Structure 1
Amino acid sequence: MSEISQRGDDASARAWGVQPFRANRTLQAALIAFVLFWLWMGHDPYRKFNWWLENLLTLLTAAGLIASRRWFAWSNASYLLILAFIALHTVGAHYSYNETPLDRWLAALFGFERNHFDRVVHFAFGLLIAYPVYEFLRRVAGVRHGWSCAIVPCVILALGAFYELIEMWVTFILDPERGALFLGSQGDPWDAHHDMEVALYGAIIAMFATARIKGKKHH
């Protein structure tokens, strides 16, 4: 029995372009590049405590993707989108989401007083993770194309809200100074709302693009 067959619907997996990892040169190269990038970002981070705290979710996600591949493997497109998002988060973790090069450029260009890289990452979460969620709904839950495009932004919004709860719990557990740095609200009382908002916008954009591209195959 092939590696793909062991994960359930062999025909569905092949239709989405899923390949056994040992033969998937694209995914292998992407993983090697990401690991090297992660190690580079891990050198002399802004705050070591925050680096490991921010990367706790990254390590758990990686473990989950590796463990779940035995019964479900995403397409290369989804894996690359997930890696792209994690790479952006890794950059933020290196700087503790504090004055990244992009923040300094935006501040010089627009005079922003707030660092906005966290907003960029939250938007990227919706934009980049929406398609993997869409693929999961289509292949595992059997949700039709149109309904999947409508449901995905709701799922992204729910995941964004759950992450904000995780930040709140971590802040309660840690001492106030470290917890506040991890929270990264920068004095904005609506920070959590805006984070969820931009993630929702990213997911809507991604699903409009998916509906346009995938929809042609359903007519």
Structure 2
Amino acid sequence: MLKLKSIPKIHLYLLLILLIMFIWSVIKADQLGIWFLEVIPVIFGTIIIIYTYNTFRLTTLVYILLCLDAIIILIGGHFGYGKVPLFNWFKDYFHTGRNFYDRFAHLIGGLAGAMTIREILLRKLDLNNMKLTIILVLGLVLGVSASYELAEGFVALVAGGAEAFVGLQGDIWDTHWDMFIALIGAISGLLSLSAIHNKSLALIRQTTKEP
């Protein structure tokens, strides 16, 4: 059984922040049905992380990125991705023609996903070939992104409210852009955070005695 004292305070803070944001997100959500569909990944992701916390504890860096990604999803679910106020201001001020919050969400999602996948690959497969690791990470990020887009489209068709859930905002290339932006996020994460991530991995290997 997990002892509370064995959990780093920052992990508890992240969980508390996520809980507060979850409660805020559901209160007076723009469309409760759409909200539920949007936040399903957060619900299941949190359950998986808590369930595996004893057996496979991730680095704090990855937990922070996943928490940030979850918060962005919860904000999008609360307002509706095409109605987030700050990005509506950007839309009106810069005359962009659309609310770009969903693009921002996919960018952070790709970044958080890449670092999570990188950690799992390096710790579970003990990969030493960095080029192969990068290829696998980017390929899996694209695969997950494409799978989500397919699932999103299927659910929207079955449940109705396709436009509100999928959020094309009139752009026929929206799905392609979402996957491309996720890829950009993944590349950005690998370029900017790999060195910091390696230090975090070295630390967690010392504390868990992993190879």
TM-score higher than 0.5? yes
Listed as ranges, the gaps of 5+ residues in structure 2 are 203-211
CA distance in 2, matches of 1:205, 1:73: 24
Instruction: Report % sequence identity.
Output: 26
SS in 2 for 1:71: coil
Write the letter of the residue equivalent to 1:72: F
Identify the match of residue 165 of structure 1 among 144, 150, 154. Answer: 150
Matched pairs, number: 200
Q: Please say if residues 109 and 182 of structure 2, whose CA atoms lie closer than 8 Å, have aligned partners that are also in contact.
A: yes
1:73 deviation in Å? Answer: 1.5
TM, length-normalised to structure 2: 0.86
SS in 1 for 2:170: coil
TM, length-normalised to structure 1: 0.83
1:144 deviation in Å? Answer: 2.1
**Pair 1:182-2:165 in alignment:** yes
Counterpart mapping for 1:1-219 below 5 A = 22-144=6-128, 146=130, 147-175=132-160, 178-213=161-196
Residues 33 and 212 (structure 1), Cα distance of their counterparts in 2 relative to 1, 3 Å cut: closer
CA distance in 2, matches of 1:107, 1:94: 19
Q: Deviations over 1:146-177 (max 9, x none)?
A: 132332121111110010011111022112xx
Listed as ranges, the gaps of 5+ residues in structure 1 are 4-18
1:212 deviation in Å? Answer: 4.8
CA distance in 2, matches of 1:193, 1:187: 13
Residues 21 and 166 (structure 1), Cα distance of their counterparts in 2 relative to 1, 3 Å cut: farther
1:63 deviation in Å? Answer: 1.4
Residues 171 and 69 (structure 1), Cα distance of their counterparts in 2 relative to 1, 3 Å cut: same
Write the letter of the residue equivalent to 1:148: T
